[in-house]
Amino acid sequence: MGILNVTPDSFADGGRYRDVAHAVDVALAQVDAGAALIDVGGESTRPGAAPVSAGDERARVLPVIAALARQASVPISIDTYKADVAAAALDAGAVIVNDVSGLAADPEMAGVVAARRAALVLMHNRGRSDAMYERAQYGEVVREVGAELEAGVALAEAAGVARDRIILDPGIGFAKRADDSLRLLARLDDAVFTALDRPLLLGPSRKSFLRVGLGEREPGDREWGTAAAVTACILAGAHIVRVHGVEAMSQVARVADSILAARTA
């Protein structure tokens, strides 16, 4: 999954793709480089990010999604936690809603996804961007994240979202300290996740937990660390990896897939 942030303040690439034509060119280049999905976001969800109005978010993402829907050969995802933004994006051509709040931010979101028969990425999180670390307190992070994802699936199904349209994201870096994120990556194959029987999406790209191994580096200088995390995710059972550097990470993913396939060859 290629990341396309049409925001001025994303932690990794803020402001780079705000022009519609340029954003579309970047997304199409990601597809050519190996992206099987494009995730378009109009509001930064980095810790401490200021909220964006639904109107501003729609203005950022809808022209890009509409243009991509006419040109791209892969499914388009809208990265939003607002139901009205999701509805407009789905009308414009998106087919997946990537909700970083795990349906917690907007009570209308599950109904929008169900009514449009869209796919849903349901991510584990606790709290908004400006306060998420206050709730990053776990006794056993793998068990608790699994249980909270299970509750999210139940909420989605109760609203009419078909289970086979749900993808789960443990939420690396969201309401989690670095050691929590590392523990989740190390135990993606735990029974608590396999029992949910849904595809797993992981987004380790350029995130701050990588500093545990890399030391202090700017996000754009964490690609080698991202490569290691992407490999670990795939070998542990991730089905989708969400990345910024699509060309390099596509190569990483193909090699990791080859190693994984050799286990049963």
Sort 140 into a burial class: Cβ within 10 Å, 0-12 / 13-18 / 19+: exposed
Which candidate in 126, 128, 207, 222 is catalytic?
207
3-state secondary structure of 48: coil
Would you put residue 14 in left (φ > 0), alpha (ψ -120 to 50) or beta? Answer: beta
3-state secondary structure of 78: strand
H-helix or E-strand spanning residue 59: helix 54-71
Question: Which residues have C-beta within 8 Å of that of residue 241, sequence separation ≥ 6?
Answer: 1, 201, 202, 203, 204, 205, 230, 233, 234, 249, 253
Question: Which residues have C-beta within 8 Å of that of residue 153, sequence separation ≥ 6?
Answer: 122, 163, 166, 168, 196, 198
Which candidate in 82, 128, 198, 242 is catalytic?
242
Q: Output DSSP code: residue 209.
A: G
Query: Is 263 labeled as catalytic in the residue annotation?
Result: no
Query: Is 211 labeled as catalytic in the residue annotation?
Result: no
51 is written with which tokens?
């909220």
Residues with catalytic roles: 207, 242
